[in-house]
Amino acid sequence: MKTETIAAIATALSESGISIIRISGKEAIEIADKIFQTKGKKHILKNAVSHTIHYGFIYEEDELVDEVMVSVMRAPHSYTTEDTVEINCHGGVLITKRILEIVLKNGAVLAQPGEFTKRAFLNGRIDLSEAEAVMDMIKATNELALKSSLSQLRGSVSEVIRNLREKIIYEIAFIESALDDPEHISTEGYKEKLEVIVEELLFELKKLLDRADCGKMMKEGIRTVILGKPNAGKSSLLNLLAGEEKAIVTDIAGTTRDALEESIKIRGIGLNVIDTAGIRFTDDVVEKIGVEKAIRFAKDADLILYVVDSSTPLDKNDLEIFSLIEQKNAIILFNKTDLPAVVTEAELFEKCGGSYPVIKISTVENIGMEELEETIQTMFFRGKISFENEVYLTNIRHKEAVREAYESLLLVKNSIDLDMPEDFYSIDLMSAYAALGRIIGEEVGEDLVNEIFSKFCMGK
């Protein structure tokens, strides 16, 4: 591991009230001491107590550069577990860069993206899943993503994975011991016992996998596509959800000819909503392209909001839409309920086989939105979302590792069913153990570590 003292700007490089230059490493305090003075005194930081903040000035040789506050955190009680200094200077691109340059001239090297967090990981303060949660918190775009990342940073994923690995390694150790010393360690009845344990492990891993899609949607948002015939009220729905005029709305059918995407937050949940061209058979070349795009978006959607104009009879275009929502998460919105109805809710239930919730709405009078929000929350997150007892995998790398562990344990179960020798169990148990270890960083190579931290922002 490299031992140079590193430094970087830890805040956004822009005009602001305060900027922070972070320094970490064996020489962090010494470097800061060279350039910091307070009330005419020099070299006061070398004797500073950990977790104290000091008012003074940054100098380059004899030139005053800025008035600052300097925080001192001594190892191992810092983010990186190394001696760390943070210089809080006036915000602004020029002054912040100037102070960083002075720090580098006095012995520090420029930190790579994510290098402070990487050191925290390599020094054992956090594991790899917790390190990834740091970046997820920074990039969080909705409340659920933020809460999920915070839960992971506090060790929710780590705790579950470590518990599973402990159970697996115990069985591996028993098998290896029994194979090495069969005279003193009996395996009589062990297959039956192991089968029960493997079933329990499979159950726990399956729960993680089943919640992984929810975790992905927490992090990235629910890909939501609004479908319906022309002039059904799709664009009005988008505007209502967004809280502002995002789409052009007219009484002319076919106004929306291309997809319009908008990120929306409801109850802390992120929706990536796509308003599409009205579905209908048409000879208009441009409109036909819009309809084809709508169909493609629907196939990849996590959720389809099918807007039905209750004042217009169902026709062959509606039958086309019914075929698009088959086997998908969908909600039927019975729109224009402020007008005399031609279509009934019973008719919609019959057409869709009662498979989808039907909500009466009016985009003109803002009716039904609360029920829609409740339905979405229940559909994807079973109502109230709690991070106290539930663990959600939001990282595709974690999901694939859990899937690999699950498949390895299925092989163990198969070997038990086939009455195979115990060493067969040990091989696949070890594969499951190693796969789970990759999540927390105990079974990963340097290349993967470097790749993960290269995606971090500078100064973190």
Instruction: Give the strands of the sheet with 303-309, arranged side by side.
Output: 260-266, 269-275, 222-228, 303-309, 330-335, 358-360
- pTM, to two decimals: 0.75
pLDDT digits (tens, 9 = 90+) for 283-340: 667 777 777 888 888 888 889 998 888 888 888 888 888 888 888 888 988 888 778 7
CATH of domain 221-381: 3.40.50.300
For residue 1, the SS3 value is: coil
All CATH 1.20.120.430 domain ranges in the chain, comma separated:
131-216+395-454
Q: How confident is the model at residue 81 (pLDDT cuts 50, 70, 90)?
A: very high
All CATH 3.30.1360.120 domain ranges in the chain, comma separated:
6-111
pLDDT digits (tens, 9 = 90+) for 19-33: 999 999 999 999 999
All CATH 3.40.50.300 domain ranges in the chain, comma separated:
221-381
- Which of 3.20.20.100, 1.20.120.430, 2.10.260.10, 3.40.630.30 is the CATH number of 131-216+395-454? 1.20.120.430
- Which of 3.30.460.80, 3.30.1360.120, 3.30.70.20, 3.40.50.300 is the CATH number of 6-111? 3.30.1360.120
Of the candidate ranges 95-99, 125-129, 227-231, 258-262, the one whose mean pLDDT is the lowest: 258-262
CA distances for 445 relative to 30, 404, 455, angstroms: 33, 18, 17
> What is the C-alpha separation between 431 and 304, in angstroms, rounded?
39
Report yes or no: 5 and 24 within 8 Å, Cβ to Cβ. Answer: yes
pLDDT for res 428: 94
255 burial (CB, 10 Å; 0-12 / 13-18 / 19+) is middle
Higher pLDDT, 274 or 432: 432
Q: Which residues make beta-bridge pairs with 90?
A: 18
